[in-house]
Structure 1
């Protein structure tokens, strides 16, 4: 866990807290709608770039796998570096991915756009949760994270309808470009306002040590889960009942022989 110095601190739950949280949530809403948008326009994209069904499937799978791998490190990076040094580059990556997507002229360029999008998107949802925890206190983490989920769900529900409406009037490249322009405005707001309530001082370590520490933490969590499972009362009861049944079976067999 990182520690924080108090060179400059802000009130938890105050106006600045709501500003930073709102920017983080808008980031989530924006990238969710970018993802929804790709699912809606992929037929149009396939026709424009003459993609095969296999290529369309590979693009979707690439995004999923890159996102999953990058997601392993997003939370640890937030804890080590803080919201500013993670969310601002993440927004920048999504912007780059959106523009690569909008101006893609080949399968390879479209595939690259999904890799970049996934690397930036991995910090979105967990970043909004992190901001809620550090800016409103862990006592309110559940409430703030629930609000993030609520806003994200509503945006996905209404965003699809809005995207269908826009697609009926504009070409898909123009719509995706509009998402990119919005992302630039969001990036400016993030540069101006996003940071932790107090300075984050992470442990000094190289990239290799950081990656190793993430996997050590994962293994530690898995080990604890296994230990808790072994200590579960139901599992002990099952073992006890199995032992009783074995003893009764042995006694019954002995009685039958006599």
Structure 2
């Protein structure tokens, strides 16, 4: 592969555009609520609609990526994202913002699906796990930079400029994809886009024990991350009184946990299997989730304690994501687009559910966020233990 570093950078940016779109405007929740004369819970729904859009949109891109190759659907998706971002910048109604965020998500998820499919195209199964860890380095920079950039922009500019910034960023990624990213799969023109054929391909993926087992393990584990995204702004800024810049720094510190974990994971993969690493990380994450709930119930949850516990929680997730993703996608090549779409769809659907539950259970305490985080971690561990003992999976990574 020519220009491997450039290719990895673009793949990372394509993967990060969705997360960056989430994290950049988190510090602006209270300002947007005031501007639209609504409450923070309604603004949180714009985050939920984004998750739903990503979950739904990936099901569209999967078949398109398998039929027309990887780049054409990517370029269309990025074009949709640019238009939606411009409209978000100029909207003056919370309901319109919720709808436009859904449309923005439809554009961004093409990059997420395409990047995962291209990793499966380019690399063998074990190498793919290392590449996913490397991509997480780029993705992990997003929650470190985005809230800080958002907080800085809010100190000098109106919140609408956040979406103008996203428009410019997406345009740069679009140009990089067009001119610098090599096509990894020309597509199979014989694949039918009729509903029956698409459903048949999806069923072929879903009926694979390796895929569905490790897809669900990783997706349920990710529920805690999405619960954190939905609730962190209120808890840190309102309950603990952090300023927007302080919140950005706290968010960056916590996000660094995933970067550290994913890079350690690349080294661990030289000696251990992906399944073993992800199982140990599952145990770690579940223990931390339980500790958070115990600390809260005993009124021991000071801000430093919360910060450290969430850091340790996401540290565990940094090992779970790349390994379960690589295992889930390992059985597929020709249907890598559909498999990647289903993987992302299920993960985002669970993420949307987690963020919606945090919003619906909002009671001006940390209970909704922390209880959802703990539940997701424990449920993922229980499933992982069941899979290891009772489910036969066909993968060199297990």
TM-score with structure 2 length normalisation? 0.48
Q: Contact 2:16 / 2:112 at 8 angstroms: preserved in 1?
A: no
Task: Give the whole-Å Cα distance in 2 for the aligned partners of 1:83 and 1:126.
Answer: 9
2:17–2:108 Cα contact (<8 Å) kept: no
Residue 149 in structure 1 maps to residue 136 in structure 2? yes
Q: Among residues 6, 23, 33, which one is paired with 1:36 in the alignment?
A: 23
Partner of 1:180: 167
Identify if the C-alpha distance between structure 1 residues 235 and 151 changes in structure 2 by more than 3 Å, giving closer, same or farther. closer
Instruction: Say which structure, 1 or 2, has more relative contact order (CA 8 Å, 6+ apart).
Output: 1
CA distance in 1, matches of 2:174, 2:134: 22
Please tell me whether residue 110 in structure 1 is matched to residue 118 in structure 2: no
Contact preservation (8 Å) 1:98, 1:180:
yes
Q: Which of 92, 107, 116 matches 2:79?
A: 92
Question: Within the alignment, does 1:169 sit opposite 2:159 as a pair?
Answer: no
Distance change in 2, residues 1:139/1:159 (3 Å): same
User: RMSD of the alignment, in Å?
Assistant: 3.2
**CA offsets, 1:2-60, max 9 Å, x none?**
xxxxxxxxxx3x22x44333222123333322211232222222222223445324333
Runs of 4+ in 1 over 4 A off after TM superposition: 136-139, 222-226, 231-236
2:180 is the counterpart of 1:193 = yes
Residue 97 of structure 2: SS of its match in structure 1? helix
How many residues in Structure 1 have an aligned counterpart in Structure 2? 220
Counterpart in the other structure of 1:5: none
Identify the residue that residue 6 of structure 1 maps to in structure 2.
none
Structure 2 gap segments, 5+ residues each: 214-383, 392-398
Q: SS at 1:129's partner residue?
A: helix
CA gap of 1:52–1:83, structure 2 versus 1, over 3 A, is same
Q: Structure 1, residues 164-197: CA drift from partner, whole Å, max 9, x if none?
A: 2222122111232122122222212222233424
Deviation at 1:115, TM superposition (A): 1.2
Deviation at 1:138, TM superposition (A): 4.8
User: Of residues 147, 154, 158 in structure 1, which corresponds to 2:145?
Assistant: 158
Using a 3 Å threshold, how does the CA distance of structure 1 residues 69 and 221 change in structure 2: closer, same or farther?
farther
Query: Residue in 1 aligned with 2:248?
Result: none
CA contact (8 A) 1:128 1:148 kept: no
Shift of the 59–175 alpha-carbon distance from structure 1 to 2, 3 Å rule, reads: closer
Q: For the residues of structure 2 that align with 1:83 and 1:32, how far apart are their CA atoms?
A: 21
The offset of 1:232, in angstroms, is 7.9
Match of 2:268 in 1: none
The farther-off stretch of 25-34 and 140-149 is 25-34
Gaps of 5+ in 1: 1-11, 237-258
- Could you say what secondary structure the match of 1:199 adopts? coil
